[in-house]
Amino acid sequence: MSPEMRNPDPKASLSRTFIADVEDRPGTLNRVVSLFRRRSYNIDSLSVGRTERPGISRITMVVRADEDTARRIEANLYKLINVLHVQDITDAPSVVRELAFIKVSANHEQRGEVLRLCELFRARVVDLHSHSMTVEITGCQDKVHRLIEVLRPFGILELLRTGAVAMVRGSDQQPTLEEPLGNDPTDEVAA
């Protein structure tokens, strides 16, 4: 085992995943991204989508940062208007996934090999033409990257990766914004 693995440097920069619940309003994403630009933080991955709560969106960001920088990022995000909750889930038990479309050059003779590789990675073909195939894969970032690398010798014609989306595992997470849907004591059921 290398010395770096035995005594990891807690200040070392690593890939960190943040989730931020924000109000779904014009300009919110711009303010979040501008914060990263002003502080010279590079965003490795960014994904935004609606949540189960009307008017609330979730931003998932993957950033290279040490522990101190991660704390500053979280504190700075809380200062932004429209940001309701921020969590660094890097060390939390979580589900993190990414989607990719990979258009591969594959003639009739190569298709069997590409299909076999797709099967190994649990990817699927979503479009087929005479000289190309488009493959869809969903999984952790490493899995997506490994499939891209094994398909590269065939010739990647086009590649599109979404940003990571993430959610903390389990149901014991503290409610962050309000009680879960359907548990409002003021709701009355008509008899």
All structural domains of the chain, each given as residue ranges with its CATH number in brackets, are 8-92 (3.30.70.260), 95-167 (3.30.70.1150)
Q: pTM for this structure?
A: 0.75
d(C-alpha 53, C-alpha 59), whole Å = 14
Contact partners, residue 41, CB within 8 Å, separation at least 6: 63, 65, 69, 73
Between the CA of residue 55 and those of 39, 61, 82, 84, 90, what are the distances in Å?
28, 20, 11, 12, 26
Under 8 Å between Cβ of 28 and 18: no
- Which pLDDT tens digits describe the chain residue by residue (191 residues)? 434 333 345 456 789 999 999 999 999 999 999 999 999 889 999 999 999 999 999 999 999 999 999 999 999 999 999 999 999 999 999 999 999 999 999 999 999 999 999 999 999 999 999 999 999 999 999 999 999 999 999 999 999 999 899 999 987 554 444 444 444 433 333 33
At which residue do the structure tokens 């921020």 appear? 86
Under 8 Å between Cβ of 38 and 73: no
Start-to-end CA span in the chain (Å): 68
